[in-house]
Amino acid sequence: MPDTRRRQPRRPASLRRAAAAASVVLLAAGALAACTGSPAPGASPRDDTIALLLPDANTARYETFDRPLFEARVAELGDYDVLYANADQDAAKQQQQAESALAAGAGVLVISAVDANAAVSIVTAANAKGVPVISYDRLIAGGDLAYYVSFDNEKVGVLQATAFVDALRDADEGSGILMVNGSPTDSNAASFKAGAHGVIDDSGLRVLAEYDTPGWNPEKAQEWVAGQIVQHRGSVAGVYAANDATAGGAIAALRAANVDPLPIVTGQDAELSAIQRILTGDQHMTVYKAIKPQAELAAEVAVALLHGEEVTAPLQIDGTPATLLEPVAVTIDNIMQTVVADDFWSVDDICTPAYADACEAAGIG
């Protein structure tokens, strides 16, 4: 069968580098549009239906990028239905959504788990119906997975912490840092934290306190940081925040407490608001993950599995074929070479009137 990748428009350089890591047997397909529908009960697995189950809306990337990119690639591959659901950070709700998708006849589940341990029961139920499961972005803690596609998540933490430590080399003696980690139910959060600690623990920086943010909720991050500012007033030199949503919460707490100058703050996901905060100096860095090749690879694998095709991958993790793409650190110095070059965000997206002066000062345009 022909390789559908040969017919796609040429991708920007960093996306091509990321996509080159992925190896999968692809299915030839036509250019018909996929349908997006709601699960309906009473059907057996079909060869035209894929379920995409995403975990939350706190993290902007899922609705802004992952879902539309996945659905667009499926549409390019053929006439398939995509049953979509977002769990709103509720593991029980995601379980119900998976059950509904299976009852509606989904032939493949693509799931980014709210709770890596709880989702094992979803995998078990799917396997019992002969439905393969792709673990998307977050590795499910067990079960017979058909494929796993994500990023090198420990490296994400290393990139964050390396930029963080470098920026804090001149921090006042006696000051320390706060660590706002990710959700304790997200398997990736443990990898981010491990990667970050591997750098921070050897840096000589003093960790004043750290917090695992339930559900990646920015309001909970803000509340916790606000309390720590009171407890450690005048001593907070930096806030390691595991993603841009929690970074936004931390910065809101710092602003509300009139902390000046703002401490160094990290992030992840290259959300538009984070890129703009980097331009104004409120946030030091973020981590850009090229979601397009991740979502497209998941779509390609899902279609192949839907028709019983064999898939291959560059590595195996716990016996599961896996592709891990490369994350990239973004600071004010390389916005044009990363998120703009890859059409992740345009200059017009970033440089709204409120940020025009900051864009000009940074050479964005």
Is the distance from CB of 133 to CB of 298 less than 8 angstroms? Answer: no
Report how far residue 240's alpha carbon sits from residue 233's, in angstroms, rounded to the nearest whole number.
Answer: 17
For residue range 203-246, list pLDDT tens digits in order: 999 999 999 999 999 999 999 999 999 999 999 999 999 999 99
At 74, list the tokens: 């499926």
Domains and CATH numbers, the chain: 4-145+290-326 (3.40.50.2300), 153-288 (3.40.50.2300)
Per-residue model confidence (pLDDT) at position 44: 66
Question: Considering the chain, what is the average pLDDT of its residues?
Answer: 89
Asked whether the predicted pLDDT for residue 184 surpasses 60, the reply is yes
Per-residue model confidence (pLDDT) at position 173: 87
Per-residue model confidence (pLDDT) at position 2: 31
Non-local (6+) Cβ contacts of 9 within 8 A are none
Per-residue model confidence (pLDDT) at position 266: 98
| pTM listed for this prediction | 0.85
At 37, list the tokens: 């529908």
Asked whether the predicted pLDDT for residue 110 surpasses 50, the reply is yes
Per-residue model confidence (pLDDT) at position 80: 97
Q: Which of 27-36, 146-155, 295-304, 327-336 has the lowest mean pLDDT?
A: 27-36
Pairing state of beta strands 35-37 and 315-317? unpaired
Report how far residue 171's alpha carbon sits from residue 284's, in angstroms, rounded to the nearest whole number.
Answer: 14
Per-residue model confidence (pLDDT) at position 39: 39
Per-residue model confidence (pLDDT) at position 142: 85
Q: What is the DSSP code (8-state) at residue 32?
A: P
Averaged pLDDT, 122-141: 97
Grade residue 10 by pLDDT with cuts at 50, 70 and 90.
very low
At 54, list the tokens: 């995403």
Per-residue model confidence (pLDDT) at position 46: 74
Residue linked to tokens 């094992």: 120
Report how far residue 58's alpha carbon sits from residue 247's, in angstroms, rounded to the nearest whole number.
Answer: 12
Report how far residue 108's alpha carbon sits from residue 302's, in angstroms, rounded to the nearest whole number.
Answer: 6
For residue range 330-339, list pLDDT tens digits in order: 999 999 999 9
Asked whether the predicted pLDDT for residue 21 surpasses 50, the reply is no
Measured from the Cβ of residue 253, the count of other Cβ atoms closer than 10 Å reads 22
For residue range 34-57, list pLDDT tens digits in order: 333 333 444 567 779 999 999 998
Averaged pLDDT, 149-156: 98
